[in-house]
Amino acid sequence: MKTIIKIFTLLLIITQFSTLANNSKQQQAVQEVIQKYINGTSNADPTLITSAFHPKASLILSHPNKPFWQVTAKEFASWFKTKKVTRTGAILSITVDNDIATARAKITTASPVKQYIDQFLLKRFSDGWKIVSKTANQLDITQSEQVLAAMDKRVLFIVSSADFHGDSALATGTSFSELVEAYDVFINAGYQVDVVSSKGGTLPLAYINTSDKTHRQYIYNQDFMYKLAYTLAPEQVDPEKYLAVHYVGGGNAMYQVAENKNIQAISMHVYEQNKGIISAVCHGTAGIVNLKLASGEYLVAGRKITGYPTAFEKTDAAYYQQFPFAIDNLIKQRGGIFNYGQRNQSFIEVDGRIITGTNYQSSREVAQAMVKQLNNM
């Protein structure tokens, strides 16, 4: 009897993993269809737009004199034969339910500046996923100049996928506070934010406080939590899109990031090729210790850097015994100048296009310093 139960349990687990893998595959397939729509409308490519829709798809759009304005996908695509306005888009969320799916995207146009939320209904056919219906609503924009300045400017958050400290059973995760405080600054400044983790997929989280106003705002924000549930894998990232990378802390930032060659390549492309910003907060500074310039010199050499110092750690605690290195010591070994402020108080260092913060309390100030530079790029 026990053997039968064990076999049944094993089959159930295999089925669950198979379902998760399939859902992930379908999620990506839907994402590719929505991206066709975004790319087609941004680059004035009617053929690409049409390929995203089912031939019988209908679009319900807004018209000042038509309460119910319905057009075909072919008619809609014909409006994009020439590029009349600058247009960008970003996927906000996707939900897959077997062979149907819904998706949301934010679209920004210039001349004049407008923003829309596009909502899609998709269905899976024998030849793949297709959009069967689309509608949209226009957002109110109070600072159009700010939106225009940030249009198509992206920031990439870099986080760790590690669930545990080293090889131990001690749970860890990415600091939710550091995520939301920085994200809030960038989004309110009009920037788009993507999240890449060392392994991609669902992100382990730590230090969530639903009594905190900002935490509560984002823990129930569908678009934000979607980004954390479906983080990009390093090989999915096109570094050409970003003007800044931001290494987020939490205990797991000590693992899987600093040694990841793909993440290193992304960051240095942004810094050297795109002339962008590299930033880090708290334990996130561990992620930049191995970054090297094209010259072979360490990025931190001769630079003022801050992060979570050994002086603030519980060096006799079990978690600390798992750390592969001490952030401040390694920064100094690499030729950096490591400084830090008072415990539980914000402290940042701005050294050119390298911006770092001591602790989670520094997250918002680091992001604000980044936005100040990004607005001039």
| CA neighbor of 362 nearest in space, from 146, 198, 175 | 175
Residue 70 clears pLDDT 80, i.e. is over it:
yes
In this prediction, residues 335-342 reach a mean pLDDT of 96
What distance in Å separates the CA atoms of residue 265 and residue 195, rounded to the nearest whole number? 16
In this prediction, residues 110-127 reach a mean pLDDT of 89
Of 51-65, 109-123, 313-327, the range with the highest mean pLDDT is 313-327
In this prediction, residues 239-251 reach a mean pLDDT of 96
- With cut-offs at 50, 70 and 90, classify the pLDDT of residue 171: very high
What distance in Å separates the CA atoms of residue 83 and residue 307, rounded to the nearest whole number? 46
Residue 139: the pLDDT is 78
Residue 7 clears pLDDT 70, i.e. is over it:
no
β-pairing, 66-72 with 277-281?
A: unpaired
* pTM, rounded to two decimals: 0.82
- With cut-offs at 50, 70 and 90, classify the pLDDT of residue 141: low
- With cut-offs at 50, 70 and 90, classify the pLDDT of residue 64: confident
Span of 74-88, 170-184, 289-303 with lowest mean pLDDT = 74-88
For the chain, give the percent of residues with pLDDT over 70: 90
Residue 367 clears pLDDT 50, i.e. is over it:
yes
Look at the block and give the residue holding tokens 């705002």.
217
Q: What is the mean pLDDT of the chain?
A: 89
In this prediction, residues 151-165 reach a mean pLDDT of 91
Residue 22 clears pLDDT 60, i.e. is over it:
no
More confident: 324 or 64: 324
Total residue count of the chain as it appears in this document: 377
> Which structure tokens are listed for 252?
């797991």
Residue 23: the pLDDT is 65
What distance in Å separates the CA atoms of residue 284 and residue 27, rounded to the nearest whole number? 29
| CA neighbor of 48 nearest in space, from 115, 131, 119, 126 | 131
What distance in Å separates the CA atoms of residue 291 and residue 245, rounded to the nearest whole number? 13
> Which structure tokens are listed for 361?
């309390």
Span of 55-69, 263-277, 351-365 with lowest mean pLDDT = 55-69
> Which structure tokens are listed for 358?
């001591």
> Which structure tokens are listed for 75?
């008619």
The enclosing H or E element of 114 equals strand 114-125
In this prediction, residues 180-193 reach a mean pLDDT of 92
What distance in Å separates the CA atoms of residue 136 and residue 375, rounded to the nearest whole number? 29
> Which structure tokens are listed for 93?
């969320």
Residue 288: the pLDDT is 98
Residue 146: the pLDDT is 62
In this prediction, residues 225-247 reach a mean pLDDT of 93
- With cut-offs at 50, 70 and 90, classify the pLDDT of residue 196: very high
Residue 120: the pLDDT is 96
Task: Write the DSSP symbol of residue 269.
Answer: I
Asked whether 64 and 150 are in contact (CB, 8 A), the reply is no
Residue 19: the pLDDT is 40
